[in-house]
Chains A and B, each alone.
Chain A
């Protein structure tokens, strides 16, 4: 059996999770500080890829990155294109995974007691250090949960990937795409094997990270004082 889809899927999901992590945490940080009047509109825009059907996301990405699209033209002038390439699977997976990362992290940031931040300020701790030394560690269980969700979503991405990256075996064909096309061509047994593989990976990721964060929580901050 050809194991390339596994490799492509993992590579895509890990890269997408990495990108979604950075973008999501950065967006959450900016939105937790921003109190302007466009807050709810901005929040809505950032959440949009989660609520839209993946095919719609794929369509919008296609418009954006297509030959006539603004980003497509920019890339063309640099002598490259992303459509129907491996990068496209990463872009599609990142976009759909981003809202989960962003929203969970923002929630975790907002849960951090404001008094703690004020206490740090009065102690002379600069805002940057407050973020890295207080907000991030305290919001860590939430950030980890967001990362798990983002990874799972990126691993399972189908619709937008198909629209933007197509189904090119050995290049953009991830496990979900493989399963779909195996079932289409009647190879149910092979499809079932891939289904099993993706279940194992997802389960291992979720339980593994959960177990790890639980241990972190236990050793560092078992809730409120006595």
Chain B
């Protein structure tokens, strides 16, 4: 069933305008804090009332401002995973699950509780209170509680933000499995791009209450449609552009000419960009788009090196730094410990250079 959302919510100083359709897969809602992601989720769940618009799940109308329909959250029965889990502290884990299973035979309740507890691997902890569980276990309990109602829509609001890194990746894998077996639509809100990329086949980027990009994750990450989307997906290499004939552009902020792939409306492009992971040291066979750059700064992480460079002859001008990220091995191929190259010849693969409009 398709979850279709087309809503507007006006608050003093903030306007949310979002529309999307979510089918069987997980849709990732990506954006910085204050972009309206959580508010969107709350509107879908019925916890917030949009100013205008329409929310439907298949044939069911959940909200329609024109027809005056606004189903209370109780009747929408979405599975909602809160940032801080929102487990009832005065109820056991079994009690937390049972409270949603209303008007059900006691035996049937027991069976469902047991099944859910097993699903999230909390066997034996049914009678514990939330505070007696670790963060990861609380997270699982919250997930079990959300799934027990067999919701058709699962809404996840930054579910891992309260976990430390180690638990995070572990929980993420478990969630990925659950999401793949979950039959309905799910919407996953996060500001962590890698998490969004790993868990969600489709992404929607929100910025200041507006949808600035949506589509399959590869498209969004490789060819963000506008500078704001590029920044949110972690691409910092952006330059204003002057379009020249023959699929060539001049990157004004970097100070070089680049070949790009043929594209419709090339002449309307206003920015050129490339991900820091796609720039690489030029090899012998790279004939075009090679640019000599001077190394400005080097930052080493455990597995990767980030290098800030400026084009040779432009170091003193007010030109923008470019960032490139290299794996440790690649970095060691072009540098040796203690001797860092001053100038690197870099290659910008034309198929990786993207234009925004």
Contact = CB atoms under 8 A, between A and B. Distances in A.
A complexed with B:
yes
Contacts, number: 80
B100 interface: yes
Contacts of A134: 88, 90
A121 B102 CA distance: 12
A91 B99 CA distance: 40
Interface string B78-89: 111011101111
Given A123-B100, A225-B138, A118 B74 contact: no
B73 A133 contact: no
A166 to B, nearest CB: 46
Interface string A102-142: 00000000000101101111111110010001100110000
Contact of A115 (B72, B84, B102, B149): B84
B46 A121 contact: yes
B53 interface: no
A120 B99 contact: yes
A37 interface: no
A2 interface: no
B131 A125 contact: no
A215 interface: no
Interface residues of B, number: 33
A120 B98 CA distance: 11
Contacts of A223: 131
Interface in B44-72: 45-47, 72
B77 interface: yes
Nearest to A118: B47
A186 interface: no
A147 B134 CA distance: 35
B131 A124 contact: no
Interface in B217-251: none
A121 to B, nearest CB: 4
Contact of B102 (A116, A125, A137, A224): A125
A220 interface: yes
Contact of A116 (B86, B129, B135): B86
A220 B84 contact: no
A222 B131 contact: yes
Q: Is the interface of A mostly helix, strand, loop or mixed?
A: helix
Interface string B115-135: 000000000000001110111
Contact of B99 (A115, A118, A125, A221): A125
Given A113-B86, A115-B82, A138-B89, A121 B47 contact: yes
Nearest to B79: A122
Contacts of B168: none
Given A115-B84, A221-B129, A225-B138, A121 B73 contact: yes
Nearest to A134: B88
Interface string B174-212: 000000000000000000000000000000000000000
Given A133-B99, A138-B89, A221-B89, A118 B134 contact: no
A221 B77 contact: no
A115 B131 contact: no
Nearest to A222: B131
Interface in B9-62: 42, 45-47
B86 A226 contact: no
A140 B72 CA distance: 27
Contacts of A119: 80, 82, 86-88, 145
A122 B131 contact: no
A142 to B, nearest CB: 13
Contact of A118 (B76, B86, B130, B135): B86
**Of A123, A124, A125, A223, which is in contact with the most chain B CB atoms at under 10 Å from its CB?**
A123
B135 A225 contact: yes
A122 B134 contact: no
A119 B99 CA distance: 11
A-B complex: 3 closest residue pairs judged by Cβ atoms: A123-B100, A119-B86, A121-B73
Given A118-B45, A125-B100, A125-B102, 7 more contacts: A118-B42, A118-B47, A119-B145, A122-B77, A122-B80, A221-B89, A222-B131
